[in-house]
Amino acid sequence: MHLNIEIKARCAEQDNIRAILKERKADFRGTDHQIDTYFEVPKGRLKLRQGTIEKNLIHYLRPDQAGPKASEVHLYATPNDEALKALLIAALPVKVVVDKEREIYFIDNVKFHLDRVAQLGTFVEIEAIDSDGSIGQERLKEQCDNYLQLFEIKDSDLLNNSYSDMLLRLQ
């Protein structure tokens, strides 16, 4: 388990953020086509991420609120995502599927996503990650707040829920 502080926002001008990340010499990990299958579970969220870069089973607890929010994340790298998907579909109802193109960048412990989500549009995510408990929630929040200001993200663009929730509202 590790702790994240996350921000998700609508982002019509991804080129501006891309330029800032390049200027700050962010480590670009690539563009990943990701299919996230969310399953009905009694607590938190459970999703299987199938991508070309990231392949994980992810369970997380996160409040639905705008701006920086803490998440407790359990991550399991999946060596055979198709077999795991078949098992999960046999055991649990599928809640929703999110299809997105994601550019992945890092600066130190902070991960940035520039997302194009089918049916929803373009977004930016900032995730300050404490994988071993050495950074602490307060410092993670400061990191997110700094990038929120640097990227000039407006309060009106901040999202309080996940892409899965947004897609469910469209159904």
3-state SS, residue 74? strand
Rg over CA atoms, the chain:
16
pLDDT at 73 over 90: no
The confidence score (pLDDT) of residue 138 equals 93
Q: Which candidate, 157, 158, 152, 162, places its Cα nearest to that of 73?
A: 162
What is the maximum span of the chain, computed from C-alpha positions, in angstroms?
47
The confidence score (pLDDT) of residue 65 equals 66
Q: Hey, what's the torsion of the CAs at 141, 145, 147, 148, to 10 degrees?
A: 130
pLDDT in tens, 6-25: 999 999 999 999 999 999 99
Contact, 98 vs 23, CB < 8 A?
no
pTM for this structure? 0.91
The per-type count for the chain, helices as H runs and strands as E runs, is: 4, 8
Beta bridge partners of 163: none
pLDDT in tens, 138-163: 999 999 999 999 999 999 999 988 99
pLDDT in tens, 102-113: 999 999 999 999
Q: Which positions ≥6 away from 108 have C-beta within 8 Å?
A: none
Distance CA 162, CA 157 (A): 14
State how far the alpha carbon of 41 is from the alpha carbons of 38, 60, 88, 93, in Å.
9, 11, 11, 9
CATH topology of domain 2-170: Hypothetical Protein Pfu-838710-001 (2.40.320)
3-state SS, residue 80? coil
Query: How is residue 1 annotated by DSSP?
Result: -
| Beta pairing class for 110-117 and 27-39 | unpaired
Residue with tokens 């409040």: 63
